[in-house]
Structure 1
């Protein structure tokens, strides 16, 4: 009888611990899952190093299912209302987490808010529209390969110094729910611009994050139509010309304001 009592006690303790473990698993938030997935995806990455395709898909799968509810946001929050006195609506940035390998943050845009055309040097970037409608325009540089040869064969005039040819990657409106956009160090639309058609929030994962001391600073650009400079366009139809533009570096636009605010959604527990 004594032995039987001990077995029952051990069995009861085992079941109790199992229930506790199940409860812990249920308590893991989507934000925590995102953080833990990012740790695994970017563990062996660095500037210019892209995660393997299977890891990219793992992180994308987590982001694809996320909404504003998962990060504690509501469309009626002050972040998403433009002041009537502001010509250019203020944009709010919420930092969820940042380390040397990756960062997780949310841009909150009121209607007509704009994040100007900028780059992501050496980075792989995942952007998930949590709610609202946003127009995204993105570019990749035209390199010295076949694209450049086809477009710039026998140029009539050289473009000014500092002006480079870029190819349009995306020029469309997106409305949540929609899939995650991914850009890479050399393709996928490494330079992009966001324009809010309605109040919206976009969650960004950057691997690695910007870092001025390491040369990964955010550079802004002005874009001009392909026809702005005279080149031999025999290799291009009129429709094809719309797929290219000239980009020139510029100072950070003074009429765009991005302010930081405290993230108050589900917390990330570092492991």
Structure 2
């Protein structure tokens, strides 16, 4: 629809102010029009990377819902589209104020640029100044694609250990912590990443469903969620504190010393008073939804 309107406007300008045609001119013009109709169709305007991302998300997540993972071929298709996106494609530059530390604030402020959201998926960008942190959080029933657009970021992610629930008497924890608040998780990723690098993909129960981001340098990360967070649908964003495996005593569980760093205890966190996230308007290429 947008391309058609643009062509219509251009044609209007091209034909505006032409003198009234004579019969001879009219016949000549009709002949040229016949030739135009018979000539190959002119190529359409090139689709922007963001428009291509939107169209691909709409296709891949069309039948999506809580816990529904797109087929492998669709996962790969969307991954390839996300991998091709660059910082300038979304209207951002590394020198923008979003990526500078503000001396007046002790905790670096994070900026979220909202691009699009519907009941099937959401697209947005987190902009972090140096030392900015997105705390450890989950993505219940969601498939998530993350693409580091520039900078260096430390990513730590976890999956729940499915065959053990520490809300049993075998877990010996301090009395001030309820056993139902603590759960064992396996560390999936704990490393620095520098752009350009491959997009990360996490699934409802695999791939590092809980993760946290720490900006080593100023950086930006593109996030695609399918489906997005929704309290009415039970997709709440829960934040966590992490503890070393040795922090709690567990009867009946034997983990070799060299493997203990691969497991940590996660506890739900209620308040995030130390984190500030500002919203910012998306200023990149517009998305045509029709």
CA distance in 2, matches of 1:234, 1:50: 32
For the pair shown, the structure with the greater C-alpha radius of gyration is 2
Measured after TM superposition, the shift of residue 14 of structure 1 is 3.9
Measured after TM superposition, the shift of residue 34 of structure 1 is 0.2
Aligned residue number for residue 237 of structure 1? 256
Residues 139 and 167 in structure 1, CA contact (< 8 A), matched pair in contact too: yes
| 2:131 aligned with 1:124 | no
CA distance in 2, matches of 1:104, 1:81: 23
Q: 1:200 aligns with which of 206, 219, 223?
A: 219
Unaligned runs of 5+ in 1: none
Measured after TM superposition, the shift of residue 130 of structure 1 is 0.5
Q: Deviations over 1:11-65 (max 9, x none)?
A: 32343x612xx132x2x10000000000000001101100000000000000111
Change (3 A) 1:233 1:194: farther
Q: Deviations over 1:198-226 (max 9, x none)?
A: 11000000001011122211100000000
Aligned residue number for residue 230 of structure 2? 211
Q: Give the TM-score, by structure 2 length.
A: 0.83
Aligned residue number for residue 54 of structure 1? 73
| 2:281 aligned with 1:262 | yes
| 2:190 aligned with 1:136 | no
Change (3 A) 1:123 1:157: closer
What secondary structure, in the 3-state scheme, does the structure 2 residue paired with 1:56 have? helix
| 2:204 aligned with 1:190 | no
Aligned residue number for residue 34 of structure 2? 10
Measured after TM superposition, the shift of residue 7 of structure 1 is 7.8
CA distance in 1, matches of 2:107, 2:44: 47
Measured after TM superposition, the shift of residue 241 of structure 1 is 0.2
CA distance in 2, matches of 1:141, 1:8: 69
Q: Deviations over 1:51-103 (max 9, x none)?
A: 00000000000011111011111010011111112111100001110000000
Residues 219 and 252 in structure 1, CA contact (< 8 A), matched pair in contact too: no
Unaligned runs of 5+ in 2: 1-28
Q: Deviations over 1:220-270 (max 9, x none)?
A: 000000000122587422220000000000113111001111111111110
CA distance in 1, matches of 2:64, 2:116: 17
RMSD, aligned α-carbons: 2.3
CA distance in 2, matches of 1:214, 1:33: 28
What secondary structure, in the 3-state scheme, does the structure 1 residue paired with 2:73 have? helix
CA distance in 1, matches of 2:253, 2:242: 22
What secondary structure, in the 3-state scheme, does the structure 1 residue paired with 2:76 have? helix
Q: Give the TM-score, by structure 1 length.
A: 0.89
